[in-house]
Amino acid sequence: MIATTTKVHNFSAGPGILPQEVLKQAAEACINFDNMNLSLLEISHRSKNYEKVIEEARHLVKELFEVGDEYEVLYLGGGASTQFAMVPYNLLSAAGYAAYVNTGVWASKAIKEAKIIGNTKVIASSEDKKFSYIPKGYDIPTDADYLHLTSNNTIYGTQIKQFPKTSIPLVCDMSSDIFSRKVNAKDFALIYAGAQKNMGPAGSTMVMVRKDILGKTERKMLSMLDYQVHIKGSSMYNTPPVFPIYVTLLTLQWLKKNGGIAWIEKINQQKADALYHEIDRNSLFYGTAATEDRSNMNVCFLLHKPELEAEFDKLWKEANISGIRGHRDVGGYRASLYNALPLESVHALTEAMQAFEKKFA
């Protein structure tokens, strides 16, 4: 079980919960970083003390994903939303096209940006049922420049359980479930993720890219949007988001120290199983996502009697539960079970649901 000292059960969808030991280390670094008697926030990003931070943070991504030097890891600003444009800008050629699967709001935004860059085709979508499922059995073109997927959908609570095999470069936005479960990272040509779910605080975005897919668009590139420029600059072509990258390093060290992805995947499955079991058992609640596509990171559920929402809200707040209001597009409730959330927090929520049923069923 993940140890916690907090009395508040934080189910925030993002920025999400971080390990307590990471927060303490990060706080100390704001006062005295690396025994320099200087704050991390005021030293040069070109100093040897900080260069070793970003190098280890890059190395740990490759170690946890079990990939080699054919991949480069970048830490960039601008959030995953900037990657919606950078991916097609770097990979979509003038004569080619990109294939996208639309599984929710963030996939839709990625598609919108790609269409500005070049020819973009949506080859599958779950929009017909309000993104409550993951499309399956669709044909993947062999002549597209790349296929783009979104692994987990925070708003609608769906998750890709099995990634397709492709003959074209596979690109994936893993912002909300990166390092939460084992994946064969070598199947992907490019993985990107905003840090603020499972990796660290908001402000840094990780990009892991296979080098052989770059430099093929024949496009005259803007420096700040060119992956190759950032690779050459070791993620420091411009001043990087220093503090978020450091907290990401601490979070990756915490993950590795405790047993890596295999360790956290087991805990995450226990958390998801416990909450979904209660949703299915409890006569007052029901889930919104197709059962086979339910996310282990973002659990979305509704009340059978919406008029009781005020009563349930009062109950879970009294139980020191925070951050479970659903997104406005879905309503109801959303419990985000990111890596640092302890199992005991899920038990607190299920106990609140049981107490609610006992009182109002």
pLDDT tens digit at each of 361 positions of the chain: 444 445 799 999 999 999 999 999 999 999 999 999 999 999 999 999 999 999 999 999 999 999 999 999 999 999 999 999 999 999 999 999 999 999 999 999 999 999 999 999 999 999 999 999 999 999 999 999 999 999 999 999 999 999 999 999 999 999 999 999 999 999 999 999 999 999 999 999 999 999 999 999 999 999 999 999 999 999 999 999 999 999 999 999 999 999 999 999 999 999 999 999 999 999 999 999 999 999 999 999 999 999 999 999 999 999 999 999 998 888 999 999 999 999 999 999 999 999 999 999 8
Catalytic residue annotation: 106, 173, 197
Say if residues 43 and 49 touch (Cβ distance below 8 Å): yes
CA 330, CA 342: separation in Å to the nearest integer?
A: 25
**Both ends of the chain: CA-CA distance in Å?**
32
Instruction: Classify burial at 290, counting beta carbons within 10 Å of its beta carbon; exposed 0-12, middle 13-18, buried 19 or more.
Output: middle
pLDDT digits (tens, 9 = 90+) for 39-52: 999 999 999 999 99
Residue among 141, 95, 140 nearest 118 (CA): 95
Q: pTM of the entire structure?
A: 0.96
Q: In the structure encoding, which two tokens stand for residue 46, read together?
A: 């070109």
Instruction: Classify burial at 345, counting beta carbons within 10 Å of its beta carbon; exposed 0-12, middle 13-18, buried 19 or more.
Output: buried
Per-residue pLDDT at 3: 47
Instruction: Classify burial at 131, counting beta carbons within 10 Å of its beta carbon; exposed 0-12, middle 13-18, buried 19 or more.
Output: buried
Per-residue pLDDT at 329: 84
DSSP 325: B
Per-residue pLDDT at 293: 98
Instruction: Classify burial at 26, counting beta carbons within 10 Å of its beta carbon; exposed 0-12, middle 13-18, buried 19 or more.
Output: buried
Q: Which domains does the chain have, with CATH numbers?
A: 21-258 (3.40.640.10), 260-360 (3.90.1150.10)
pLDDT digits (tens, 9 = 90+) for 57-78: 999 999 999 999 999 999 999 9
Residue among 321, 340, 324, 330 nearest 271 (CA): 340
